[in-house]
Amino acid sequence: MEHLIKELVTKMADDALILGHRNSEWTGLGPVMEEDIAFSSMAQDKIGHAWALYRILQEMPGGQDPDQFAFLRPESEYKCCHLSEMPIGTYEFSLMRHFLFDHAETVRYNSLLESSFVPLQQLAKKVKGELKYHTLHAAAWILQLGKGGTESHGKMQAALDNCFPLACGIFEPGPDDVQLSDIYPGERALYEQWLDNINPILTKAALKLPENVTPAYGGRYGQHTPHLHSLLKEMGEVFRQDSAAAW
């Protein structure tokens, strides 16, 4: 049971760390100053959430220092989904990824409010309030750009077509999810709830979910896109110079 909880916390933490790193790549590059600040702030939030989750792992038997765990694992031990690994790409790609991912996070943390695993249940109360600003930000732009004229709508629809199969990979089921039923409702249930939450916003923005998609699975089993390799190399570059340094 304990190793299953560790797997759940690890994949959540890795998603937050990797996407947090990606969000931070918009610092200095945002299309307008407010968006530069928004993505930088969300990066900070995500890395804070990752840190809190790595702290939970540290408190469990066999736990490791959060920084060492975050930066020094071999690539195959990261459990992030492919969506989080993709380069920032165009602004509409990053925006759509942020919309789909933060709605998924909201569903997950809402479900954890009922978790029997106290550290996650307590953290969920904190993260839920913070995520509200992420989803408000995302929805405002999805609506504005989805309805913003032919070119704008076309770009947002293409971004959705591109991101949706990747986002479905967030909910890649684990073989023993059913044993975690007291901890959280499982990936299938979260996926259904997520669709219920994003559909009304997408409809309002005149955007259509693509049909017959193949979810981008593999991340939860340590199989990643080539993009993660270069990200990890860059992210840990300073840390690896002296992994025992005090900051």
Residues lying near other proteins in the complex (CB under 8 A) are found at 34-35, 37-38, 40-42, 44-49, 51-52, 119, 122-123, 125-130, 132-133, 136-137
Question: In the complex with other proteins, which residue's Cβ is closer, 51 or 71?
Answer: 51
Min dist CB 224 to other proteins, Å, is 25
Q: For residue 41, which amino acid is it? A: S
Minimum Å distance from CB 177 to other proteins?
26
CA distance 74 to 78: 7
Closest approach of other proteins to the CB of residue 61, in Å: 18
| CA distances for 44 relative to 39, 127, 131, 235, 237, angstroms | 9, 13, 12, 14, 19
Of the candidates 231, 40, 212, the residue with the CA atom closest to the CA atom of residue 134:
40
Instruction: Identify which of residues 39 and 194 has a Cβ nearer to other proteins in the complex.
Output: 39
Cβ burial 113-133 (10 Å sphere, 16+ → b, else e): eebebebbeebbeebbeebee
Residues 6+ apart with CB under 8 A from 1: 179
What tokens appear for 225 in the block? 């896109």
**CA-CA distance, 104 to 190, in Å (whole number)?**
8
Closer of 35 and 161 to other proteins (Cβ): 35
d(CA 81, CA 215): 11
Output the smallest distance, CB 203 to other proteins, in A: 18
Shortest Å, Cβ 141 to other proteins: 11
- Residue among 110 and 225 whose Cβ is closer to other proteins: 110
CB closer to other proteins out of 48 and 63: 48
